[in-house]
Amino acid sequence: MKGMPRLGWARLEGVVGGVTMAGVGFGSRNSLLRPHKAGLDWAIPTLMEGANMKPNPVLRDVPDYKRFLTVDELNGSAERLARQHPQTVRLVPIGRSTDGETIRMLRIGHGPEQLLFFACPHPNEPIGAMTLEYLSHRLAEDDQLRGTRFTWNLIKCIDPDGTRLNEGWFAGPFTVTHYAAHFYRPAAFHQAEWTFPVVYKTLTYLTPIPETQALMSAIAGLKPRFIYSQHNAGFGGGYYYLSPDTPLVYDELRALLRDRSVPLALGEPEMPWAVAFSPAVYRVPTVTEHYDFLEKYVPGDPAAKITGGASSFEYARPISNPAMLICELPYFYDTRIENTSPAGMTRKQAILDGVACSQEVLGALRDALAPLQGKWAVRSRFVIAVENFIELIGSSDAAKAQWAEHTPELDAPATVAQAFDNLLVTRFYRLLVVGMARRALELELRRRRSSVAERAMETLAARFQEWAHELERDLDYRVIPIKKLVEIQLGAALAFLAHL
């Protein structure tokens, strides 16, 4: 989820960064070899794929996908699967999207305990959809994996409207520039994950969007034992959120990343109020923790700085107290993200430099778009999202600077990972907002040509090219194959379920 949180789980980017992972040792991976809990009809093969171990067949068989599937392709595949396996697979409607598209859920198996997986809670995060594409077919055909304990409820795409607006990058080329040019992420109050009803202190949010209402209906009806909200990050390393605390699974989760050469995210946590259980493993954060954090560090009413509501986890807790897992994976990584050697600057300086960098981009956006304020002919999703992110990032940058200035521990040396996170990763996420502003202007100009919109477009298109070029030059990134991403995301679920 970065304030834009890391564009993974969080609605806001890591506002202040809190916990440093540097110097924390990793446990032995021997727990991977332990026998599975006795008495289950359902047990996945041991996940460890290191020396002398056979690969887990469920993960080994993930196809070598060359692109992400479109919404229409995901739907067509689900329909075919239900037709081919009428005894095992049902496809049921759970609601409609904002633009009126039916949202459906696959129900596979007949076990008494309900598992709920949902993908694309942020529509720029389609790894989960590919995971469910594969898992649904595998479950339909693999009696042992399906078992008799669980019913597997899979929502391949909870936000079809937003996902369609990302399809421009789904087939590659997988570069930072191409991704940013075709990226869409809804405003915080239009995100399916963070718009569940909540009443807490001065915060009242009671108007869930249609996609969230669909999830509420699924959660209320299923009373799930486990929820997997399938987010993913964009750039960086991998990390997890989970509940309850399950120390036995940490090594397996980290091994899934390391065995596939995906670095652990050991820089700044995505959300400063997130509690770290272990390196790259956090407790699932909540909006009430966000509220309390704002109350402590930022003057004024916290509720005024939170747009949207609670998460699926908070909504489901009083209903069925489910276990919860989130696996944040990047599409791109640079090995500096896990380098814990000293960067030659203080952490405070790294944070303040990152804020300055972010403010430069924000200033350019504000200046270019100011003449259009209140005058857009097409108030598209892109306009709404860009305005919301400018506001959210502005307030989170202010809080972050405040926190950096007044927290003595931040005079400690920064690691390379922390400096990288604050400087380069921040630039990556800011470029995405510039990309969305450019798309907003494209739509505007298609509807009505005006010199104001043309000037704004000329300015932002030039800045986009300039910043994208600098990032391509300054980052040394690799693209992670989709197969590996799916293996990690699915492997994490199977590992965690083995401990339920």
Q: Which residues bind Zn ion (CB under 5 A)?
A: 1, 8, 122, 125, 231
Distant-in-sequence, close-in-space partners of 382: CB < 8 Å, separation ≥ 6: 184, 436, 437, 439, 440, 443
**Rounded least distance, CB 301 to Zn ion, Å:** 26
Instruction: CB nearer to Zn ion: give 4 or 32.
Output: 4
Instruction: CB nearer to Zn ion: give 146 or 231.
Output: 231
In angstroms, the CA 119 to CA 231 distance is 7
- State the DSSP H helix or E strand holding residue 496, giving kind and residue range, or none if neither: helix 482-497
Neighbours of 466 (CB within 10 A): 11
Degrees to nearest 5, angle at CA 246 with 326 and 215: 35
Instruction: CB nearer to Zn ion: give 348 or 381.
Output: 381
Instruction: CB nearer to Zn ion: give 6 or 484.
Output: 6
Instruction: CB nearer to Zn ion: give 108 or 490.
Output: 490
Distant-in-sequence, close-in-space partners of 315: CB < 8 Å, separation ≥ 6: 196, 197, 215, 216, 219
Compute φ and ψ for 250, nearest 5 degrees: -55, -50
Neighbours of 177 (CB within 10 A): 18
**Rounded least distance, CB 141 to Zn ion, Å:** 30
**Rounded least distance, CB 446 to Zn ion, Å:** 29
CB 163 within 8 A of CB 117: no
**Rounded least distance, CB 154 to Zn ion, Å:** 18
**Rounded least distance, CB 318 to Zn ion, Å:** 23
Instruction: CB nearer to Zn ion: give 225 or 231.
Output: 231
CB 193 within 8 A of CB 312: yes
- State the DSSP H helix or E strand holding residue 324, giving kind and residue range, or none if neither: strand 323-328
In angstroms, the CA 119 to CA 125 distance is 8
CB 454 within 8 A of CB 379: no
Instruction: CB nearer to Zn ion: give 231 or 463.
Output: 231
- Looking at beta carbons, which residue is closest to Zn ion? 231
Instruction: CB nearer to Zn ion: give 421 or 444.
Output: 421
Instruction: CB nearer to Zn ion: give 42 or 183.
Output: 183
Radius of gyration of the chain (CA): 22
CB 194 within 8 A of CB 11: yes
How many residues are recorded in the chain? 500
370 alpha carbon, distance to own chain's centre: 30
**Rounded least distance, CB 389 to Zn ion, Å:** 14
Instruction: CB nearer to Zn ion: give 231 or 483.
Output: 231
CB 91 within 8 A of CB 79: yes
Instruction: CB nearer to Zn ion: give 8 or 269.
Output: 8
**Rounded least distance, CB 7 to Zn ion, Å:** 7
Return the structure tokens found at 279: 């390196």
The pairing of strands 239-243 and 323-328 is: antiparallel
Helix (H, G, I), strand (E, B) or coil at 3: coil
**Rounded least distance, CB 125 to Zn ion, Å:** 5
In angstroms, the CA 410 to CA 144 distance is 51
Beta bridge partners of 119: 230
Neighbours of 35 (CB within 10 A): 7
**Rounded least distance, CB 230 to Zn ion, Å:** 8
Instruction: CB nearer to Zn ion: give 187 or 372.
Output: 187
In angstroms, the CA 120 to CA 483 distance is 17
**Rounded least distance, CB 412 to Zn ion, Å:** 30
Return the structure tokens found at 365: 């956006």
**Rounded least distance, CB 124 to Zn ion, Å:** 8
**Rounded least distance, CB 129 to Zn ion, Å:** 13
